[in-house]
Chains A and B, each alone.
Chain A
Amino acid sequence: MANFLVFAETRGADLRKVAGEAVSVARRLADASGGGEVHAVVAGPPGVAQKADTLGRFGADVVLAIEHPALATFAREAVAATIAQRAKSATYRAIVLGFTAQGRDLGPRLAAKLDAPIVSDVTEVQIAGDSLTVKHPAYANKVVVTLSITGTPAIVSVRPSAFAATEVARAARVEPLAPAIDPATTRVKVVQVIEGAKGRPDLADAPVIVAGGRGLKAPENFKLVEDLADAFGNAAVGATRAVTDEGWRPHADQIGQTGRQVSPQLYVAVGISGAIQHLAGMRTSKTIVAINKDREAPIFKVADYGIVGDVLEVVPALTRAVREAKKGH
């Protein structure tokens, strides 16, 4: 029997989707190793402890709540010190967290503080006795590496959306966890949070992504991409590096090897050639649509449905057709 610790990520006072996924992974591993407990740490402003119900639903037995006004933003050093202190005072087989902006910061800190082996961005985890193995897409998603980890606690950061958050109907009891250092006086301080485009899901969460490339010719033509995303209703907007380099879109919208890695239900590539570095970030999308005037463009090699044509003509027509189709529902 082994216990597992989870960092259940919040933004402000709200749990993020990846928190449920990480708890579910830990629940499954705990069950597979004889039914240990899952302890989920939440850090946030006062009131965040009330999120415990949700974490119980995904399989947490205990919610350890670090509450402090200065945790309204991610006070990374305080969160890392507190989790490390807890992990030293108890025995955990592994610490599970999300491979997100927060997780990629927190995971290595915990590894160093606890002298614990770490694997990041994993898409599968297996435990059998002393052996913990994970799958991790490396080389810009072009090679899947199976890694075995020896030593406890193992730190495992999971790729968002790679694991389902499965409801198991447990009730978690809540315990306060005192910060190990004052979250208000850390050496790295968040001075501002800049909210992204309103009303659109993040690239990681969106079931549909409409992405534009240099084939759009001018920044103002991104309006066509925005309109198509609006027609789908639940879509995020992405871009190629050619476009972010030109400053047509912010770098945060870039999809690919050195940008975001996405895997939506539907990916619509508009005026994108399909360079290998772009494909590295989106080739695992369930369905890919491409619109490009060049029949030989490499994007057509991966597109389930390709249309050869001028984006300035095809995209508005598609937007109208999608709107009609949505109305028909």
Chain B
Amino acid sequence: MKIAVCIKRTPDSETRFRVGASGSSIDEGGVKFDMDDFASYAVEVALQLKEKAGSGEVVAIALGPDNVQETLRKAMSMGVDRGVQLKADAVPFDGLAVAKALAAELKSSAFDLIFFGKHAFDTSEGVVGTATAELLDLPCVTAASKLEIANGKGTARRELEGAAEMVEFSLPAVVTIDEGIARPRYPSLKGIMSAKKKPLETKPAQLGTPRVAVKSMALPPDRPPGRIIGEGSAAVTELVKLLQTEAKVL
């Protein structure tokens, strides 16, 4: 079982963001970065499949400046065998441009499965995985919340609004990973030590020309400060009255 996982380095989700001086990026001062959540689920699923198969290789690929090497090392400390950095000065906000670079790298090796996160925390676009699949002309399941691989075939569950569908597909294939499928493992001390010695290759990213550009960023308007209207069930009458007369939602 040979599996590639594309991982992105993104800000920690606890961050209180500020817009940077340029007005078109976030202020990265004091912001912690880590592997994107959905990508970390994808790494976990890949490692579990390899362990179940008893043999194989899991390769992590990250496109970005040199700080993505840290993210690749983290993946290796979880158990990924090697890392590939597709070096670029910055990651454009253009999912198709990123997909082109990842597809250019992925097309040369024969993977049984290629995993992505359902979407990245920062862009929240959900484009890169499915677009890469299409560029590689591979079958693709977008946002799988369950996945089983057996006898060269895959079965996945996808959440629809208010329903779910089960799909079958042939390998090789691309799957983008939703939450609920697996919780990422914590790197062990031994994992962290051995990750330092695992191969990490760096190549230039063959990014497409970005055609989606950030013009500006802004923080959404704050909600008015909250208000506590009372304690215990005695407050229920007042609440219902406010819902009827003030909020007009009842």
Q: Report which A residues bind B (CB closer than 8 A).
A: 11, 73-74, 77, 80, 99-102, 104-105, 107-109, 111-113, 115-121, 133, 136-151, 160, 187-197, 200-205, 207-208, 232, 244-245, 251-252, 254, 257-259, 265-266, 276-277, 280, 283-284, 286-290, 295, 299-310, 313-314, 316-318, 321-322, 324-326
Contacts and interface: CB of A to CB of B under 8 A. Distances in A.
Given A133-B215, A307-B228, A307-B230, A118 B95 contact: yes
Interface of B: 11, 13-15, 17, 19, 26, 37-38, 93-96, 99, 119, 121-135, 139-143, 145, 155, 157-170, 173, 178-180, 183, 211-220, 223-233, 235-237, 239-240, 242-244, 247, 249-250
A257 B167 contact: no
A314 B160 CA distance: 33
Nearest to B124: A138
Contacts of B161: 100-101, 160, 202-205
Nearest to A151: B211
B232 A313 contact: yes
Contacts of A316: 233
Contact of B227 (A120, A203, A305): A305
A121 B124 CA distance: 8
Contacts of B168: 188-189, 191
Contacts of B124: 121, 136-141
B224 A304 contact: yes
Closest 5 CB pairs of A and B: A251-B180, A112-B134, A202-B162, A317-B233, A108-B130
B212 A309 contact: no
A204 B239 CA distance: 25
Contacts of B232: 307-310, 313-314
**Main SS at interface, chain A:** mixed
B250 A325 contact: yes
B228 A308 contact: yes
B134 A113 contact: yes
Given A11-B160, A284-B220, 16 more contacts: A100-B161, A109-B140, A117-B212, A118-B131, A143-B26, A148-B215, A150-B211, A187-B173, A208-B249, A245-B183, A257-B37, A280-B13, A302-B223, A302-B226, A305-B229, A318-B236
A34 B223 CA distance: 38
16 contacts: A101-B143, A102-B160, A108-B134, A116-B96, A118-B95, A121-B125, A145-B93, A145-B214, A147-B215, A196-B164, A258-B179, A301-B226, A307-B230, A307-B235, A314-B233, A314-B235
Contacts of B122: 138-139
Nearest to B18: A143
**Main SS at interface, chain B:** mixed
Contacts of A304: 224, 226-227, 247
Contacts of A200: 162
Nearest to B178: A251
A302 B214 CA distance: 29
A255 B34 CA distance: 22
B29 to A, nearest CB: 15
A151 to B, nearest CB: 5
B95 A111 contact: yes
Nearest to A147: B212
B17 A142 contact: yes
A265 B249 contact: yes
B214 A120 contact: no
Contact of B247 (A252, A287, A317): A287
B94 A117 contact: yes
A259 B249 contact: no
Nearest to A285: B223
Contacts of A245: 183
Contact of A277 (B13, B126, B132): B13
A284 B222 CA distance: 10
A120 B220 contact: no
Contact of B13 (A201, A276, A307, A318): A276
Contacts of A147: 93, 212-215
B163 A195 contact: yes
